[in-house]
């Protein structure tokens, strides 16, 4: 009798244990709830998403948008696309990247406008040369590597666009100058422009080609000159080596000694040379070899000679000379300390 009571007490003290079947059912329920919670925004986004005006609610934004020719288009048509599938994907990006920002920009930024969305309405843009605001443009030949918004990001929201980007003369010339063989070179402005349209605004090209062009023409991007001017156009006034290439510092010595060089047409202050060459006359005068020993004695500490020369340049002449202590070798220090 006592043993029976002890066995009963032991069974009562044992904690209840879930069977494998109950654990499996609980796991399925938990996974199902998580799955439903994860897909709930997708289901809601299929029929509803927050209005863009929830965030874009400033008066300036509305004014800029209403003034544009694209004001009749809806947000989802431009940012999502015209197709049903495209708009459904856009709704999901809004829900999971803006409303519940759990995916970042992994599936595309809802703020962007894809080229395909623009081409739904502007499919004929490549068929012929367009004319707008006094400018002719052949999009079929001139947009390699560019997206529509690189030049037209302000067509809908104006300066209220998050990253305003628009076309200008330099953006065109950069490509034209780099592809002279493809586009050719011409200074005929009517090829791209009709009349003198002030609506284009004050641009770098207007400044460098205005009435004061003799003093302002070098203030622009010199790498774009070749789109309109032949390669030797600048040489007529500036001599050789102009405009300077990006690595011109390492190559300018050759041009500086050319008989046709006219560095002083721009560099009228010797400080341009002195900053690197230590005040030595550049290019070296004809009698420099006879006097260079005295000059070299004064540059032992600042080593300004080594801006252009290496130690072996000295060896070309001095290696054959016998000096006290032995002849000069490439490993020797010259001038002597």
- Tens of pLDDT, residues 141-185: 767 778 888 888 888 888 888 788 888 887 787 777 777 666 666
1 C-beta neighbours (distance < 10 Å), count:
5
Residues 108 and 84: their CA atoms lie apart, in Å, by 17
Q: For 181-217, what is each residue's pLDDT tens digit? A: 666 667 777 878 886 655 455 677 777 887 888 888 8
Map tokens 């500490």 to a residue: 301
Q: Are the C-beta atoms of residues 214 and 156 closer than 8 Å to each other?
A: no
Of the listed ranges 157-161, 316-320, 322-326, the least confidently predicted one is 322-326
For the whole model, what pTM was predicted? 0.56
Map tokens 């300077």 to a residue: 244
97 C-beta neighbours (distance < 10 Å), count:
19
Q: For residue 327, give the H/E element and its range.
A: strand 326-327
**Within 13 Å and on the Cβ side, how many CA atoms surround 88?**
6
Residues 295 and 282: their CA atoms lie apart, in Å, by 13
Residues 43 and 100: their CA atoms lie apart, in Å, by 13
């Amino acid at each position: 009798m006592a043993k029976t009571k002890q066995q009963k007490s032991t069974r009562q003290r044992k904690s209840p244990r879930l069977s494998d079947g109950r654990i499996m059912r609980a796991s399925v329920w938990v996974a199902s709830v998580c799955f439903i919670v994860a897909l709930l925004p997708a289901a809601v986004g299929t029929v509803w998403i927050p209005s863009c005006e929830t965030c874009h609610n400033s008066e300036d934004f509305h004014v800029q948008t209403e003034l544009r020719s694209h004001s009749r288009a809806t947000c989802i048509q431009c940012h999502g696309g015209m197709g049903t599938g495209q708009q459904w994907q856009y709704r999901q990006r809004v829900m999971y990247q803006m409303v519940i920002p759990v995916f970042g920009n992994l599936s595309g930024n809802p703020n962007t406008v894809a080229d395909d969305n623009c081409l739904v309405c502007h499919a004929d843009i490549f068929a012929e040369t367009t004319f707008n605001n006094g400018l002719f443009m052949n999009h079929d030949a001139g947009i390699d590597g560019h997206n529509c918004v690189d030049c037209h990001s302000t067509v809908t929201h104006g300066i209220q666009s998050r990253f305003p980007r628009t076309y200008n003369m330099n953006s065109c010339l950069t490509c034209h100058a780099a592809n002279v063989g493809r586009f050719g070179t011409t200074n005929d402005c009517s090829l791209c422009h009709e009349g003198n349209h002030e609506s284009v605004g004050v641009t770098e090209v207007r400044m460098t080609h205005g009435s004061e062009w003799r003093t302002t023409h070098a203030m622009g991007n010199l790498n774009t000159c070749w789109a309109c001017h032949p390669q030797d156009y600048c040489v007529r006034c500036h001599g050789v080596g102009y405009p300077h290439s990006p690595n011109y510092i390492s190559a300018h010595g050759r041009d500086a000694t050319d008989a046709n060089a006219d560095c002083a047409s721009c560099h009228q202050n010797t400080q341009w040379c002195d900053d690197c060459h230590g005040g030595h006359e550049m290019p070296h005068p004809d009698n420099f070899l006879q006097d260079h020993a005295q000059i070299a004695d004064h540059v032992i500490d600042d080593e300004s000679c080594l801006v252009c020369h290496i130690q072996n340049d000295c060896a070309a002449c001095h290696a054959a000379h016998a000096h006290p202590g032995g002849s000069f070798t490439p490993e020797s220090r010259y001038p002597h300390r």
